[in-house]
Amino acid sequence: MDIAPPELLYMYALTAGGAVLGSCGLMRRIGPGGLEIGYWIHPGWTGRGLVTRSVGALITAARALPGVDHVAVHHDEANTASAAVPRRLGFTEISRNPAEDGPVTPGENGVEVVWRLDLAPAP
């Protein structure tokens, strides 16, 4: 039985000592040729580079998949920690627009920021 939604391609748990610290994944929900990268991490584990390294590994995986020519990250504008990840990894910010559902959590402002990274084939 497949319990994952059809748009989910890969999802990984970030763990330490058996505890889940966060997760990251590649999702098919941005159209042909593209995969969205999603991530979260427990606040006690931020600032250690774990998400940046995990997203770097997802970029490598996406580059190896047939038909994938870009990846994207979407986040709320108020989430500056999430913005730092694509910035560090060479993504280009391509848009800022009101989110369809508005703010989802109290810390959000309802502006969705989208970053894109075009993938060259791995050397």
* pLDDT attached to residue 50: 93
* pLDDT attached to residue 1: 42
Mean pLDDT by 10 residues, the chain (123 residues): 59 91 93 94 93 96 92 95 96 93 86 95 61
Q: Please give the angle made by the CA atoms of 31, 117 and 114, to the nearest 5 degrees.
A: 65
> Where does residue 44 rank: exposed (0-12), middle (13-18), buried (19+ CB within 10 A)?
exposed
* pLDDT attached to residue 6: 59
